[in-house]
Each structure stands twice: as structure tokens, then as C-alpha cells.
Amino acid sequence: MSHPALRFVHNPADSIDLVAAELAARNFLTALGISLDDEHLHATPGRMARAYAELFTSRPFDLTTFANDEGYDELVLARRIPLRSVCEHHLLPFVGVAHVGYLPGDRILGLSKLARVVEHFSRRPQVQERLTKQIADWLDEHLQPKGVGVVIEAEHTCMTLRGVQAAGTTAVTSTLLGSLREDARSRQEFLSFTGITP
């Protein structure tokens, strides 16, 4: 029997003012000396407003857990979950993958929900370190597993396209909780499955 589903929504759509965002984008581009008279750029402010609204809006989802009837006590891991977010310092995208795993306790989680949790926290201005911890803490709180591990590998365009322009550089962050932090063998298993050398 499934546990009653918890519904999670991070959706600023009700507070999004696309008209104001488009006007702000128009003023922003004009202030940077970009002429919007060109037919190719005329609709750009509207596109910018809609693009950022999409980047900042996650889809609602139900967190449905199931009784761990078989007493499964080995690692559950979803590797290479696609991730996209926006750096809160420059509002430039960062993209990469998240590896999310847990050691089940009394309940297990549908695998697709691991990807939903990643999306839930990435659809807002973020820093990678906070994002990694938010995903792990959220799973720990709502699933109450024996351990949780999250590793994120991402390329930040605020570092690769501007500033130092270190193209190809990837930032790696991790958060390990419970047995995956405290037990050396469990930690090593998790990290080796993600492809990160411990």
C-alpha cells in the first residue's frame, strides 16, 4: 500500500508579471547599447522574459512513498539526472548532472521522484553548494532513509563564458548524510557508483 502522497509546488507563476519583465528586458538591452529596431531583435525582450519565467518555474509533483516490504537495504541510486539552473550572482545558466541516492529505511521512493526533487530545487536562482544540500536535506526529511548522498557536476557559464573564461571546467559538490557519511564502506560504494573517485 502506498503512503498518502505529499504534493510539492514551487511555482512562482502566480507572481510572474511578464509584461513588466519584458519592459525590464527591453530597458536592460537598450542600456547596454543594443538596438531593438532590428527585426531579429525586436521580439527579444519578450523571449527573454518568457525564457527566464520558464527557468524559474518548476512543475508540481506528488511525493509518493511505498512500504519497503522486502526490507531492501542496499543503495538506490539515480545517476546522471540532467540538471539546469541559474547562477544567482550573474543570472547565467549552469548545467550538468546530479547523482542522487539513498539507503532505504521503512519506505522507498519512486525513482522518477529523485529527478523531480532535483528539478524542484534547481528552478530558481541558485548556488551549486546550496542546491546540493537542499536536495539531500529534503530527501532526508521526507523519506527518513538510513542515508542520503547527492553529488552534482556542473559547468557554470558565469565562469566559462565571462571572467576567467575557463571553458570545460566542471564544479563538483557533494552532500552525504547518515550512513553514507558515517560508514566508510557505504560512502565509498556511493561515490564509486557516481564515478567520483573517493
Cell 519584458 belongs to: 22
> Among residues 119, 120, 128, 153, which one is catalytic?
128
87 tagged catalytic: yes
Alpha-carbon dihedral sign for residues 137, 140, 143, 147: positive
> Among residues 10, 90, 142, 144, which one is catalytic?
90
> In Å, how far are 47, 84, 132, 172 from 119, measured between CA atoms?
22, 8, 12, 18
Q: Is 176 exposed, middle or buried (0-12, 13-18, 19+ CB in 10 A)?
A: buried
> Among residues 126, 142, 155, 158, which one is catalytic?
158
Going by C-beta distance under 8 Å and a sequence separation of 6 or more, which residues neighbour residue 50? 18
> Among residues 22, 99, 156, 189, which one is catalytic?
156
Joined together, the cell numbers standing for residue 127 give: 548556488
In whole angstroms, give the CA distance from residue 76 to residue 73.
Answer: 9
134 tagged catalytic: no
Residue 120: Cβ within 10 Å count: 21
> Among residues 54, 89, 182, 188, which one is catalytic?
89
Joined together, the cell numbers standing for residue 40 give: 531579429
158 tagged catalytic: yes
> Among residues 22, 87, 134, 153, which one is catalytic?
87
> Among residues 88, 129, 182, 188, which one is catalytic?
88
90 tagged catalytic: yes
128 tagged catalytic: yes
74 tagged catalytic: no
126 tagged catalytic: no
Cell 556542473 belongs to: 154
In whole angstroms, give the CA distance from residue 191 to residue 174.
Answer: 10
Q: Which residues are catalytic?
A: 87-90, 128, 156, 158
